[in-house]
Structure 1
Amino acid sequence: MLKLALFFLIVSLVAGLFGFSGISAVSAGMAKILFFIAILAFVVVVLIVLFSAKSLFNG
């Protein structure tokens, strides 16, 4: 997912360089959305691992 966010970021930068501001804005928005989804997924996985590890040591 982070690779896709990086791809949209690069597309946004190249489009902005050539003056395509509409495409640049949409690509930057998609990159932001995908980045925050990836961060959220990472936090959820870390919390699941922490809670499952805690239950393994207690039980």
Structure 2
Amino acid sequence: MAPLLLVLLLVLILFGVGFTVKVLWWIALAVLVVWLLGFLFRGPIAGGGRSRWYRW
């Protein structure tokens, strides 16, 4: 009975990791799109240079 429970636990862990990795890929893709849009839609600043779309 213990080996069966260990195999089921392993399957559950691997399924959870796979689902999490897939979700993280979608989040990374969304962040990349927002980052690229920030470069496309930033406007010029008063000093004649280019502004930053982030406030660091």
Higher deviation after alignment, 19-28 or 44-53: 19-28
When normalised by structure 2's length, the TM-score is 0.66
Q: Which structure's residues are more often helix, by fraction?
A: 1
What is the aligned-residue RMSD (CA, Å)? 1.2
Aligned partner (choices 5, 17, 42) of residue 24 of structure 2: 42
Q: CA deviation at 1:22?
A: 1.0
1 or 2 for the larger relative contact order (CA 8 Å, sep ≥6)? 1
Q: CA deviation at 1:31?
A: 0.3
Task: After the TM superposition, list the runs of 4 or more consecutive aligned residues in structure 1 that deviate by more than 2 angstroms.
Answer: none
The gaps in structure 2 that reach 5 residues or longer are 42-56
Larger Rg: 2
Aligned residues: 41
Aligned to 1:56: 38
Identity of aligned residues (%): 10
